[in-house]
């Protein structure tokens, strides 16, 4: 999300951006996900996380000037989820555990995109990937009692939804904190 100056705008939990515009609150996002099957959920979460990474990176870059900007376009050098994860890490926007978490989501997305419509989060490697996400992030948020309850009554889908909201909230915070690079002679 960018404001009229082309800089990143921070989305608060209520969906109001720091520049006064509004975005979809996380409660609405979660509500929308409830209407979808596991396959659509994974694809939507991955797309949202990819979009958040794009916004965080854009928030740090100078505007393209007079020419068309293709750097972050799907066919551009930073147009893939994987390349955005790597660049975000190299820029210091996300730590190695966050990189692992995003790569697990990216693996789930790839797997669900290639599988038949009946793919489910509670089966096979999908369940294992969700469990890895839980274990990875559970240690990052020891004070979060909701995280401590994850996997005690296994529901990979609800665990994935909760983790996705947590990841999106953190990236939204990063978007608001990303500082644009200043040219040397400005």
**CA angle, 154 as apex, 150 and 155 as ends, to 5°?**
95
Question: Would residue 1 count as lying in a domain?
Answer: no
How many domains is the chain built from? 1
In a domain, 184, yes or no: no
Write out pLDDT tens, residues 14-36. Answer: 443 343 333 466 777 888 888 99
Q: Is residue 183 part of a domain?
A: no
CATH of the domain at 147: 1.20.120.330
3-state secondary structure 74-124: CCCCCCCHHHHHHHHHHCCCCCHHHHHHHHHHHHHHHHHHHCCCCCCCCCH
pLDDT by residue (tens digit) across 106-150?
999 999 999 877 889 999 899 999 999 988 887 777 666 665 565
Residue 11 lies in a domain: no
Q: Which domain holds residue 50?
A: 26-177
């Amino acid at each position: 999300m960018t404001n009229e100056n082309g800089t990143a705008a921070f989305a608060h939990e209520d969906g109001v951006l720091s520049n006064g515009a509004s975005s979809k609150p996380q409660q609405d996002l979660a509500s929308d996900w409830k209407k979808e099957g596991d396959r659509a959920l994974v694809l939507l979460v991955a797309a949202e996380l990819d979009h958040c990474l794009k916004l965080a990176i854009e928030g740090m870059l100078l505007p393209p000037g007079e020419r068309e900007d293709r750097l972050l376009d799907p066919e551009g050098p930073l147009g893939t989820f994987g390349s955005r994860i790597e660049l975000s890490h190299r820029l210091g926007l996300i730590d190695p555990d966050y990189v692992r978490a995003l790569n697990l989501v990216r693996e789930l997305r790839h797997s669900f995109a290639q599988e038949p419509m009946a793919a489910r989060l509670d089966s096979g490697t999908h369940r294992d990937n969700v469990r890895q996400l839980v274990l990875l992030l559970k240690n990052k948020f020891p004070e979060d009692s909701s995280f401590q309850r994850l996997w005690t009554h296994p529901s990979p889908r609800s665990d994935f939804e909760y983790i996705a909201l947590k990841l999106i909230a953190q990236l939204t915070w990063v978007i608001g904190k990303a500082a644009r690079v200043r040219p040397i002679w400005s």
